């Protein structure tokens, strides 16, 4: 078990090593591309190589929402339809379905929900920086 709300399975498509970190690119069963920046030590510990199955974890507080694709530095952008919004006094949990049965949860402010005019059934984009994507081994 892990506390990160967003948990996906993928296949490593590329491992690009730098001096200290690596960019690991994965693809989910639904064809979504995910980029993760992790330490070289983690790449070695997890034995990440092309073709290996891996798990992707992202905390809901690390997922930003937009109402259209943006040209920004965040590599991970997934379009979908909002399935649920749980409103709180300050924050909301927005659940975006990016493919049949695959939901990305985002914790954002109620002010952002209103400013973006987010509602159940509307289209939105979940955005995650690659440094916020954690990887793990498949069991």
Break the chain into its structural domains and give their ranges.
6-137
What is the pTM (predicted TM-score) of this model? Answer: 0.88
**Regions of the chain short of the pLDDT cut 50:** none
114 contacts: CB under 8 Å, gap ≥ 6: none
Question: What is the b/e burial string over 66-91, where b = at least 16 CB atoms within 10 angstroms of the residue's CB?
Answer: beeeeeeeebbbbebebeebeeeeeb
> What CATH architecture does domain 6-137 belong to?
Beta Barrel (2.40)
Give yes or no for a contact between 34 and 76, defined as CB atoms under 8 angstroms apart.
Answer: yes
Q: What is the pLDDT of residue 34?
A: 95
Q: What is the pLDDT of residue 129?
A: 95
Q: What is the pLDDT of residue 4?
A: 85
Torsion region of 33: left, alpha or beta (phi above 0 gives left; psi -120 to 50 gives alpha):
beta
């Amino acid at each position: 078990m892990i506390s990160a709300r967003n948990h996906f399975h993928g296949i490593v498509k590329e491992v690009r090593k730098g001096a200290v970190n690596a960019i690991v690119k994965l693809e989910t069963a639904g064809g979504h591309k995910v980029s993760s920046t992790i330490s070289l030590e983690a790449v070695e510990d997890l034995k990440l190589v092309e073709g290996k199955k891996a798990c992707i974890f992202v905390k809901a507080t690390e997922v930003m929402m937009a109402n259209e694709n943006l040209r920004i530095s965040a590599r991970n952008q997934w379009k979908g339809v909002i399935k649920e919004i749980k409103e709180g006094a300050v924050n909301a949990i927005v659940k975006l379905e990016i493919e049949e049965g695959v939901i990305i949860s985002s914790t954002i402010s109620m002010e952002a929900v209103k400013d973006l005019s987010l509602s159940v059934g509307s289209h939105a984009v979940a955005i995650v920086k690659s440094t916020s994507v954690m990887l793990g081994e498949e069991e």
